[in-house]
Amino acid sequence: MNRKIIKSTPFGSVGIIWTVLNDSPRIVRVLLSKPGLSAEHQASQAYPNSQASSCTEIDAIVAAIKGILEGDDIEIPLDVAGLDSCSAFQQSVLRAEHRIPRGSVSTYRLIATHLGKQNGARAVGNALANNPFPLIVPCHRAIRSDRHLGGYQGGFEMKRALLEKEGIRFDASERVVCAQFHYQRIMSNIVFIATSLDGYIADKDGGLDWLQSIPNPENLDMGWVDLIDRIDAVVMGRKTFEKVCSFDCDWPYSKPVFVLSNSMKSIPEGYEGKAEPIKGSLSEVIEAIHQKGYKHLYIDGGSTVQGLLKEDLIDEMIITVIPILLGGGIPLFGELTKPMEFEHVKMEVFLNAIVQNHYRRKK
């Protein structure tokens, strides 16, 4: 095992522990100085038998690390790092983190979601806290969802300073100022639905007549036209689709409609070209629809909404409350594996009776 100590940097010494694998140098650890604990001391404790040594390739990495610490726009290829010492999950986290470009940040939660681990923010944080290759894998670019920095091997001040050198700004509360996080979905899944005062979307018989309990002589659309303008497609379950087909009115959708069903082989006669069946798990179906180019989706139907909420795949909810108590029926919401926070965007009142609230998921 070999060691190379970089002594003169704005953040104290940096240690590189390296070996040779298949005739090529491979980084084993990058050690950052911490308050009261230099990289030299960490190297002597963790690798007491390592030998002071370098080579052309290691010298190039030393120069790159010096440049990064001075604020230069440099990226070190990940193939110099010995990822084989990490678990499969940590490797996936480190690769995702390495793809966050200079001048951008992401959150532990968004990285977890990107990796398909909906509840994995803490696991991602632990993987980065034990990142063997800081600066090669720029784990200073991962922060908390509340925009505070979170931990860093080199300490809070070093993490902030590195981000500032990359153009990241902070507000008076020490939070990152960021228009959009890396890995933040540029797509949106939107619920637009009406409920009774007691939270039902249909009565005990599945009826919807109560939706017309407030006279609407001017036929206010209550945001429907704006919603249709925003979205690219509609996603609904089979029961909702069949209910819509039973309405005595023209087909209400001007955008493509996808019907979630693992048993429906074809669309009923008379509705060909208006809707398309699609099967699979909810997350697979949503991803497949997004891959078709439909980025903003209107999610309709109680079971579909509940399923996507469990998967944390709902980005916005526009809920219109009709002032009536049904006393039972089909509820909008079901059980969740954990609480979910939404921010209130706006509230509107229609016909002096109907209240519409717009919520956005806190990420």
Catalytic residues, by residue number, are 139
In terms of DSSP H, where are the helices of the chain? 39-46, 56-70, 88-98, 108-114, 121-129, 156-165, 224-230, 238-246, 282-291, 302-310
Residue closest to 104 by CA, chosen among 188, 179, 11: 179
Q: What 8-state DSSP symbol labels residue 268?
A: P
Question: Encoding tokens for residue 155?
Answer: 């300490």
- What b/e string do you get for 73-100 counting C-beta neighbours within 10 Å, with b at 16 or more? eeebebebbbbeebeeebbbbbebbbbb
Q: 2 near 59, Cβ under 8 Å?
A: no
- C-alpha span between 94 and 133 (Å, rounded): 9
Q: 161 near 155, Cβ under 8 Å?
A: no
Question: Encoding tokens for residue 262?
Answer: 């693992």
What is the chain's alpha carbon radius of gyration, rounded to the nearest angstrom? 27
